[in-house]
Amino acid sequence: MSTSLGAAVRHKMLTNMLLVRQTEERIQELFLENVIRGTTHLCIGQEAVSVAMAEVVDAARGDTVTCTYRGHGHALALGMSLESMMAEMMGKVSGCSKGKGGSMHLADLDVGLLGTFAVVGAGLPVTNGAALTAQMRGTGAISISIFGDGTPNIGAWHEAVNLAAVWKLPAVFLCENNRYGEYTPYEDTAPVPNVADRAAAYGIPSVIVDGQDAEAVYPVLLEAADRARAGDGPTLVEALTYRYRGHSRSDPATYRPEGELERWMERDPINILAGRMQADGQLTAAEFEALREQQRAEVQRVTEWAMNEPWPALEETLEDIWAPSGDDAGVGEGA
């Protein structure tokens, strides 16, 4: 499997990484400006995983993804429109979930995003179900579940990986090991050095990969996806990465050892890919700046658009709870 991707794919990945980065930087500002409320979890620094993952997913074939509250990058990389996401972040009716979900609950079936799950570990069992549908129907579709390094500690994670292994489901379990679960370093709460070490308990293959290098992550995921499609069951992929910002809006990340952030920033996923493209003559410094500026402008435009979008109507509050179903559609105030 070649690790050097074509120029077009590289360009797309780079563009998407810039889009994610600019979007999240803007989101943080919007939080400080009180335009976005609640909480949010930024993936700045982790963008390579998102764009590599998205290259493997084909929603038209039925591929699906579940991820966590740290899902803006995955959603955008999969192709959720920036409009849809920004409006959702602000609780506007034009958001992907009509403003009802918010930052932690993005979903877009059209791009294969079943949902971003806010309860740790809750997405993996659901990914299994999507993989089960693919297995039953023989569609060749896969389902990817993305989670953090703190997540393997929870029971739902274990049960899901286990069931996928027993049933040889076409699933891929993708860990973004960003070194921390909230404010606690990985090694304080895990008994094994690597998340990948857990795979032995399920008799499934695992791979540790440089999560800052989209071109390293991509072939690993592609192989895992191929294995899944071939009926050989799930793979556990551990991408080593780092979040530049705190866990969530309210976290200044004072727990970082000195210099840690700076060391990781030297291996910035955008710079790595951009640098390689420049070395390969696929991108000039000026083009890179223009691309960045273009994304920045796009984010700016969409932000303003979203700010002017309407709120959902108040009657929306109790809508969408019940699926219409035969006679008893609209059980409404129900119980």
Partner 1 sequence: MAVMTCRDAVVRALDEEMARDEDVIFFGEDVGKAGGVFKVTPGLYEKYGGRRVRDTPISENAIVGAGVGAAVTGMRPVIELMFADFAAVTLDQIVNQAAKLRYMSGGQIQVPLTIRMAQGSAGGFGSQHSQCCESWFMHAPGLKVCVPGTPADILGLLKSAVRDDNPVIFLEHKGQYAERGEVPDHADHLVPMGEARVVREGGDVTIVAVQRMVGVALKAADTLAEQGVECEVIDPRTLVPLDMETIARSVEKTGHLVTVEEAVRAGGWGAEVVSQITENNIWSLEGPVVRVTLGAGIIPFSQPLEEHLLPGPEDVVAAVQRSLEA
Cα–Cα dist 193/205, whole Å: 17
Under rule CB under 6 A, residue 119 binds ligand TPP: yes
Q: Which CB, 117 or 218, lies closer to ligand TPP? A: 117
Provide the mask over 216-255, with x wherever binding to ligand TPP is found by CB under 6 A and - wherever it is not: -------------------------------x--------
- Find which of partner 1, ligand TPP, its own copies, none residue 305 binds, CB within 5 to 8 Å per kind: none
**Residue 97 binding: pick among Mg ion, its own copies, partner 1, none (C-beta 5-8 Å cut-off by kind):** partner 1
Could you tell me whether strands 235-240 and 180-181 are parallel, antiparallel, or unpaired per DSSP bridges?
Answer: unpaired
Q: How far is the CB of 172 from ligand TPP (least distance, A)?
A: 17
Q: How far is the CB of 43 from ligand TPP (least distance, A)?
A: 8
Question: Checking DSSP bridges between strand 171-177 and strand 235-240, what pairing results, if any?
Answer: parallel
Binder of its own copies out of 153, 271, 278, 294 (CB under 8 A): 153
Footprint of its own copies on 203-242 (CB under 8 A): 203-204
**Is the separation of the CB atoms in 65 and 57 below 8 Å?**
yes
Residues in the chain: 335
Q: Does 158 bind its own copies (CB under 8 A)?
A: yes
Residue with tokens 């959603």: 75
> Smallest Cα–Cα separation from 67: which of 35, 41, 87?
41
Can you spell out the DSSP letters for 109-123? GGGTEEEEESSTT-H
Cβ–Cβ under 8 Å, residues 299 and 314 = no
**One character per residue 165-184, x = contact with ligand TPP (rule: CB under 6 A):** -----------x-x-xxx--
47 binds ligand TPP (CB under 6 A): no
Q: How many CA atoms lie within 13 A of 14 on its CB side?
A: 26
1 binds, among Mg ion, partner 1, its own copies, none (CB under 5 to 8 A by kind): none
Minimum CB separation from its own copies for residue 10, in Å?
36
Identify what 182 binds: its own copies, Mg ion, ligand TPP, none; CB under 5 to 8 Å per kind.
Answer: ligand TPP
Distance of CA 93 to the CA centre of its chain: 23
Cβ neighbour number for residue 315 with a 10 Å cutoff:
7
Angle between helices 269-279 and 285-308 (to 10 degrees): 140
> Closer CB to its own copies, residue 197 or residue 287?
197
Q: How far is the CB of 199 from its own copies (least distance, A)?
A: 8
Binding site for Mg ion (CB under 5 A): 148-149, 178, 180-181
